[in-house]
Amino acid sequence: MEIVVVTTVEAAQEYLSQGYEGVELSLGNESLGRYDHHGDRGHLPAVCLQAFEDLRDGKVEYKEDFVATGAADLDACAFIALVSGILFEGRNALTLDGVEEFVRYAAKMDTDPIGMCPSFDGEVGKLYLAWEAMTAGSPPNDPLSFYKGVAILRDLLQNKSRFQDIMDAALKREEGRYRLSLENMRNNLFVCEDGKFIILTQTTVFGFPEWYNRKPKTDKDFLEAWEFPCVVALTDRGNITVGCANETVAEKLFGKGGLQNVLPLFGEGWGGRGSIGGSPRGQIMTEDDLRHVEVVLRNYLHC
């Protein structure tokens, strides 16, 4: 298996022309290859779920060569593990049915994580947390990050019993993440006067479920159900994520299409889907970029 990483449209097109399978090739304002779910493909499910369904329906054959970009996240690594066929090889070979629960879980965590809680989701949640813990710190646009992510996923899924200690430790870390996400709230830079959005800086954890802060006994599709229906966060890794509590809330704030209406206003290469988006893959963002996002949101939302 070969995995190459590119950072330009031209390089991506060259590898695609050679028969490499594209993995979330969202570059600039273009989505290249068959498998992506950003930009104008934001309505599609995560690529690992697309691949699972295509394998199940006989619409794609196993591939050995892949071209990717940006971060080696679980969605991308699960896609490669599926389409390369390595999950279905060896003494502990799995079946498509045997990985379906995990793939669907990983896909939902990638595109619609609000309301999900790995700490309480049994073995599949612990597997997810273990993979995240074991790949933490992997640099973007680095082929080794993808190779490592795919290998760790194969070992986790094929040999679960060998990783129980790591899974238990990852669960404890998640409990710490929850506490830290609340502490990160103290670093907010700006809260829109009418509470429509909040901006956080140098966040050390992904805390969007906590930062939206759903109010008890409320309908999730109402703006009033969330203390902050829109959250913007600059992580200590240098990427900016903009998220809304869900698709319906996003459309109430930004109109039909949700965040798709404002992501292009942040600059070239920003992409995502209706309820969540982010800065260009592999590009380091600064607090100046964060301030620009703030200005755009304030103007768009009139606050």
pLDDT (tens place) for every residue of the chain, 303 residues total = 999 999 999 999 999 999 999 999 988 778 899 999 987 887 899 999 999 999 999 999 999 999 999 999 999 999 999 999 999 999 999 999 999 999 999 999 998 787 777 877 899 999 999 999 999 989 999 999 999 999 999 999 999 999 999 999 999 998 888 888 888 887 776 777 677 888 988 888 888 888 998 888 888 889 999 999 999 999 888 999 999 999 899 999 999 999 999 999 999 989 888 899 999 877 899 999 999 999 999 889 876
Are the C-beta atoms of 47 and 37 separated by less than 8 Å?
yes
Q: Where are the domains of the chain?
A: 2-158, 182-301
CB 92, CB 159: distance < 8 Å: yes
Model confidence, pTM: 0.75
Residue 293: what residue type?
V
Rounded CA Rg of the chain:
19
Looking at domain 182-301, its CATH architecture is Roll (3.10)
Task: Read off φ and ψ for residue 40, nearest 5 degrees.
Answer: -70, 0
What gap in Å lies between CA 271 and CA 39, rounded to an integer? 5
Q: 7, 71 in Cβ contact below 8 A?
A: no
pLDDT given at position 281: 79
Q: Three-class SS of residue 162?
A: helix
User: What are the backbone angles phi and psi of residue 208, rounded to the nearest 5°?
Assistant: -55, -45
